[in-house]
Structure 1
Amino acid sequence: MRTIIYTIISLVVLNFVFPYFIPFDTVYHNRLEYKYGQYNIQNIDVALKKIKAEIRREKLTNYGIILGDSVIYGSPGSSDHVVNAYMEEEARRLTGDPKYRIFNLSYPANQNGDIYVMLLKLDKLGISTDNLIINTRYANFVPRNPGPRAVFWLYDDLRKLERSSYDKVLPQLMQDYVKPPVTMYEKTKHWLKQDVMPILTPYANRDFFRKLMGDTGLRLLNKPIPSDALADSLPYFEKPNLQEYVTRDEIKKAYTDTPFDMTSNSFDIYFMDKIIDHQKNKKTLIVLTGANQTLLKDYIDKPGYKANMESLNQYFQSKPVQYVNLEGVISDSLFTDHTHMMPEGYRELAGILLQNYPK
């Protein structure tokens, strides 16, 4: 009997202390780890809990949150050259607060629905969104027929956190390959994977534990740790296949001149309205990502594109948030493709965000 009791106590203690064996920098370095969430989106929850612990440990009261997609995430470069790293550097100088932090919780392919779900997740953890920067893009408001999903990554979290919104968007999600469990076996399996197993911290932290062990092994062998860059950050005009790439159907759809539905019948407006309502009486800056004017000239010169852009401007300017449209603001020479930037571009973006952030 004693053996069973000791075993249970040991497992409980292990479940509690296991996350403390994994350094904060292993889980989060200036941004979330895309390759770990790409195949297991629950790794985002591990990172958020680490950030909450870091806020508590450092007794942080002066910090900001960034939410958005791959642009403000800092693709395709490394986590050392992201917009919030540049912002922190300057903000610490201006405020005189050496602990000032800006946590970048953006994620490639995020939609407006994912951003809203992230706000709900942060609420649940008690992480403040009083100082928030959100980036969205033209493509996020393009008609979805049928895809991409209006909540690309976090639809299971939406199901748990706000069932009414999940039920509203579910028919569109199902058109884009989301298949909710139907049979008792499927529901049980889904429940175990989504709700039960993540409670066990050794299981939840398994990917980052493997990363820690791998990085430790490389250091012992005096070998470099691989970069976390998603791709190279060459100037767009040095990439020979880029002109062909921007003629693909997915790019044509992303920059369509089809008129936008700017009512709540659009899932994107529906979620953006909820985001703005959530941020009532808080400092919020919404940034509309700009396009490479040279590379996408054939799309952005169309009257329909310009009309849609004006509709977005009118929508955001009518809301109680600070808003900046980056269309044509940053030099094309700082772009690495049609929408992402080189480190120099992200440094310039950092200055724009600091200049426009609500005081």
Structure 2
Amino acid sequence: MKKTAVYLLLFLLIIELILPGVVPLKSAYDSRMNYTVVKDNPANIDVVLDQIKHQIDSQNIKDYVIILGDSVAHSGPGPADESIGARLQEYYLLAGQKKAVFNLAMPAMQTGDIYTMILKLDEHGISTENLIINLIYAGFVERNPDPPVVFWLQKDLARLDPASYEQVTPQLTANGKIAREGPTQKLNRLITERLAIFRYKDFIKADLQHRFYELTDRQEENALGDPRPWYQKEGLQKLLASPEYQRGFAVKPFDMSQGNPQIFFLEKIIKHQQGKKTLVFMAPVNYELVPQVHDAGYQSNLQTVKDYFAVRQVAYIDFHGLVDQRLFSDHVHLIGPGYSLMAQRLGEESLAGENQL
């Protein structure tokens, strides 16, 4: 019986040591985080960061760019090889730059999540010396109470910056999104997030599923939605007319004080990035699907955001009006050529040497 226990412990130890090195990086990260795996368990983001850190160290990568943001930077609903991260990597290669690109954007990420991701990068020893951050107009709109300013990473924020977590607790409580853990849940989380056999199980499953689809010549389901251009989609305009979507394009003047959770976390990000290279971009919108863009209030809000970053000497690109409407997949997301255009512009700006905070 004792021998069996010893063998079992040795077996588990071997798995613990070798598993991180044998799980294919592609199952965790392929030009962007694997949304299908991460969306059901945000703790899997740490596995992605572990894998990226291993790649940086093993390949001695000195110069790299981190992309943070929501579904626009993640580049849904198209495939990974048409994402901003993949296209930006191509741009650097064609420009003769030996820069690696790691796209850690995630659909539905809010500014509080972006700030928390920066803290997590610090924790994992991944440099934030060169960041590209994606924002959207709706992020500045008054939250009443949705969406929560920290959507995915509340537990991480509570652990890494308790003071900031307490500051936004009223907003999280109002929309019922605050994270609460009992002793049993906490113990379970510590076990599942520390032991490799638990940490990598979702990625192993995803890799096996991917291999199954390849062997059977079947098409994997796109968890990010319909990648066709917007004008080929029926019912899209009716969907966007709902109050849920309309609220995100309100023309009421933005509150640019720290009473706005968006500004509260942007100030945190700017302070953290002092002396580092940071490029922020505002995602464009489809003018034909979002007529509010032509309203004077909307345009005034865009100028207010531009002025905000100018005062703080943060490099900023507003993509409103810079992307042809035929390159949209819906009201804010693009098709491949649209993301390629954005990646080229981001690449040009990032190499201009004018984005030092």
Into which bin does the TM-score normalised by the smaller protein fall? Answer: over 0.9
- Please state how far the C-alpha of 1:85 moved relative to its aligned partner: 0.9
Query: What is the TM-score of this pair, normalised by structure 2?
Result: 0.94
Question: Comparing 31-40 with 262-271, which one deviates more in the overlay?
Answer: 31-40
Partner residue of 1:189 out of 184, 189, 194: 184
Q: Secondary structure at the match of 1:95?
A: coil
1:183-332 to 2 correspondence within 5 Å?
187-219=182-214, 221-224=215-218, 226=220, 228=222, 230-297=224-291, 299-332=292-325
Give distance in 1, aligned partners of 2:233 and 2:222: 21
User: Aligned pair 1:145/2:138, yes or no?
Assistant: no
Deviation by residue 1:109-163 (Cα, 9 ceiling, x = unmatched): 1111000000000000010111110010110011111111010111110011110
Q: CA deviation at 1:222?
A: 4.5
Aligned equivalent of 2:122: 123
Matching residue within 313, 330, 336 for 2:329 = 336
**Residue 64 of structure 1 corresponds to which residue in structure 2?**
65
- Alignment CA distance shift 1:199-1:328 (3 Å): same
SS of the residue aligned with 1:107?
A: coil
C-alpha distance after superposition, 1:298-332 (max 9, x if no partner): x1222222222121111011113211111111111
Bigger shift: 237-246 or 105-114? 237-246
Tell me if the contact between 1:79 and 1:229 (Cα under 8 Å) persists in the aligned partners: no
Q: Which segment is superposed worse, 196-205 or 87-96?
A: 87-96
The one-letter code of the counterpart of 2:141 is: V
Q: Which runs of 5+ in 2 are unaligned?
A: none
Residue range with higher mean Cα deviation, 156-165 or 191-200: 191-200
Aligned equivalent of 2:153: 154
The answer as to 2:164 corresponding to 1:165 is: yes
Indicate whether 1:24 and 2:19 are aligned. Answer: no
Cα deviation for residue 21 of structure 1 reads: 2.2
SS in 2 for 1:330: coil
Please, which moves more after superposition, 205-214 or 227-236? 227-236
SS in 1 for 2:101: strand
Query: Can you list the C-alpha shifts for 1:271-305, whole angstroms capped at 9, x where unaligned?
Result: 001111111111110001111112211x1222222
Give deviations 1:165-194, integer Å, cap 9, x for gaps: 11111121111222543xxxx521231233
* Residue identity matched to 1:120: L
- Contact 1:215–1:225 (Cα < 8 Å) also in 2: no
Q: Does 170-179 or 25-34 show the bigger shift? A: 170-179
**How many percent identity over aligned positions?**
35
* C-alpha contact (below 8 Å) 1:19/1:202 kept by paired residues: no
Report the Cα distance in structure 1 between the residues aligned to 2:45 and 2:179, rounded to whole angstroms: 21
Q: Secondary structure at the match of 1:39?
A: coil
2:193 corresponds to which letter in structure 1? P
Which position in structure 2 is the counterpart of 1:73?
74
CA distance in 2, matches of 1:126, 1:280: 18
TM-score (norm 1): 0.93
SS at match of 2:117: helix
Distance 1:171 1:91 in 2: 43
State the AA in 1 paired with 2:44.
Answer: N
Matched residue type, 2:224: L
Distance 2:122 2:255 in 1: 29
Q: CA RMSD in A?
A: 1.6
The answer to whether the Cα contact below 8 Å between 2:213 and 2:220 also exists between their aligned partners in 1 is no
- Aligned residue pairs: how many? 351
Q: Does 1:347 align with 2:347?
A: no
Q: Is the 8 A contact 1:75 1:229 kept in 2?
A: no
Distance 1:165 1:250 in 2: 28
